[in-house]
């Protein structure tokens, strides 16, 4: 009986946490005059992806190709292949893969963010302009990514809550950098200023997205594990890469939508955004 009650409590815990987040988010929303609704963010993210789907998805596909190629070269069961390597080879592979992922992943995120922000502002999404901006902002974006992870990981080690606070405070630091061209540390400060008063709603949004992405990713990984033949495993790897591409694109458009919504609701439309409204 005690085991059954424990299982029921564990199954109910996520729903209780979501209910608590909904209550906190609604209470937070009543305390501020400006609007920030999760439904608007989700709608904006999909609308933005629809407007600039070709360049954004193609960029996401290019980002997913290295992982797919690595799986095809070493074998679809990448973890098993890694355990069969010598320690020096494994360290070299992890280091080289991490460096490539950091540089090219950051470049791709900046490009997709620039495309998404153009679409949100009503401007045509020009890949050449976004790529040039990505190259120009690559170094500060890489520094931001490193500092972001170091801060969140260190904060998580301090009883988890500080890491969660930093994650929410710095959630839109990359869109800030791309949209406003501020420096590295100024982008962190600007992100914190924009999300102030919306952290509970952002936490609820992050929780919903995390659950949705976990379910989709789990289905792809389950297909790979259930595949009996090599051809089926390769198909599963391709499907997993496509899911990664779509989830990366939605993550970038979602964060860009959060930045756009917070900025427009708290400060109003200015500059090129205002011109786009009356164009």
pLDDT at 65: 72
Instruction: Indicate the burial class of 99 (C-beta count within 10 angstroms; 0-12, 13-18, 19 or more).
Output: exposed
pLDDT at 199: 92
10-residue mean pLDDT series, the chain (279 residues): 70 79 88 86 94 92 71 54 58 69 90 96 92 96 96 89 93 96 94 94 91 73 59 69 84 95 81 47
- Give every CB contact of residue 2 below 8 A, 6+ residues apart in sequence: none
> What pTM does this model have?
0.84
Nearest-5° Cα angle at 225, 221 to 226: 115
Rounded to whole angstroms, the Cα distance separating 192 from 171 reads 8
Rounded to whole angstroms, the Cα distance separating 46 from 186 reads 29
- Count of CB atoms within 10 A of residue 229's CB? 8
- Give every CB contact of residue 228 below 8 A, 6+ residues apart in sequence: none
Rounded to whole angstroms, the Cα distance separating 274 from 250 reads 25
HSE-CB for 201 with a 13 A CA cutoff:
22
pLDDT at 277: 43
pLDDT at 278: 39
CA nearest to 47, candidates 122, 154, 151: 122
Dihedral angle over CA of 232, 251, 106, 177, nearest 10: 170
**Structure-block tokens of residue 222:** 């389950």
Cα distances (Å, whole numbers) of residue 118 to 37, 111, 130? 21, 11, 9
- Give every CB contact of residue 173 below 8 A, 6+ residues apart in sequence: 144, 148, 187, 188, 190, 191
**Structure-block tokens of residue 99:** 């460096």
pLDDT at 279: 44
CA nearest to 224, candidates 74, 81, 77: 77
pLDDT at 193: 94
């Amino acid at each position: 009986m005690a085991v059954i009650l424990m299982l029921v409590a564990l199954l109910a815990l996520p729903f209780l946490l979501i209910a608590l987040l909904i209550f906190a988010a609604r209470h937070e929303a009543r305390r501020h005059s400006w609007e920030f609704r999760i439904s608007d963010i989700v709608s904006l993210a999909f609308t933005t992806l629809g407007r600039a789907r070709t360049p954004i998805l193609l960029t996401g596909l290019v980002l997913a190709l290295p992982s797919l190629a690595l799986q095809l070269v070493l074998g679809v069961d990448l973890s098993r292949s890694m355990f069969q390597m010598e320690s020096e080879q494994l360290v070299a592979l992890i280091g080289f893969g991490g460096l490539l992922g950091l540089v090219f992943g950051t470049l791709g995120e900046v490009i997709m963010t620039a495309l998404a922000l153009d679409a949100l502002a009503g401007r045509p999404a020009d890949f050449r302009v976004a790529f040039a901006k990505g190259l120009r902002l690559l170094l500060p974006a890489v520094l931001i990514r490193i500092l972001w992870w170091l801060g969140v990981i260190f904060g998580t080690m301090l009883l988890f809550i500080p890491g969660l606070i930093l994650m929410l405070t710095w959630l839109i630091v990359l869109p800030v950098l791309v949209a406003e061209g501020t420096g590295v540390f100024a982008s962190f400060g600007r992100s914190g200023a924009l999300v102030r008063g919306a952290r509970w709603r952002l936490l609820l949004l992050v929780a919903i997205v995390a659950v949705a992405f976990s379910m989709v990713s789990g289905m792809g990984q389950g297909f790979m594990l259930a595949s009996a033949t090599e051809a089926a495993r390769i198909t599963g790897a391709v499907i997993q890469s496509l899911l990664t591409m779509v989830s990366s694109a939605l993550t970038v458009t979602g964060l860009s939508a959060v930045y756009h919504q917070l900025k427009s609701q708290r400060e109003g439309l200015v500059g090129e955004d205002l011109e786009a409204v009356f164009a």
